[in-house]
């Protein structure tokens, strides 16, 4: 019987997601601007939507992830489809080489840091939980 209220395992996937917002996500550089050494996950979440304009839709993994958790109990097939979509969209982010900057267009990404991998692990955990639940419910 699906659990409608309370905290389930799928809610625990929010912990690494939220933690990733406060960790350094990308190491960055710019030839002319002093932009610091990294962007935090929160900064990347806020500005990542502009990546869609550059043809990199990885930011869309975030709403897919949240919707997958929201539909966990009421629409399990939609939830697993959204968690798969979120994971595949998150994989696209490995190809990021630059990120939008309000002041001067684009800044080069020189590496992925702990926040990025923590963010990505939340998607993997939700996909595995969704898959496990789907396999257990099969006749």
Any idea which of 60-64, 88-92, 102-106 has the lowest mean pLDDT?
102-106
CA–CA gap between residue 50 and residue 102 (Å, rounded): 10
The pTM for the full model equals 0.83
- Per-residue pLDDT at 34: 62
| Residue pLDDT, tens place only, 24-67 | 998 888 766 666 788 899 988 988 887 787 777 889 999 999 99
């Amino acid at each position: 019987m699906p659990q409608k209220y309370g905290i389930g395992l799928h809610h625990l996937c929010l912990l690494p997601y939220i933690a990733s917002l406060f960790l350094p996500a990308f190491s960055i550089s710019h030839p002319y601007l002093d932009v610091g050494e990294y962007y935090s996950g929160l900064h990347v979440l806020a500005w990542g939507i502009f990546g869609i304009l550059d043809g990199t839709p990885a930011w869309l993994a975030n709403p897919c992830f949240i919707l997958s958790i929201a539909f966990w109990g009421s629409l399990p097939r939609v939830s697993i489809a959204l968690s798969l979509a979120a994971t595949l969209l998150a994989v696209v982010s490995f190809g990021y080489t630059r990120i939008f900057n309000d002041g001067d267009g684009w800044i080069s990404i020189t590496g992925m840091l702990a926040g990025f991998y923590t963010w990505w692990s939340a998607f993997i955990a939700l996909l595995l939980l969704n898959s496990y639940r789907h396999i257990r419910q099969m006749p």
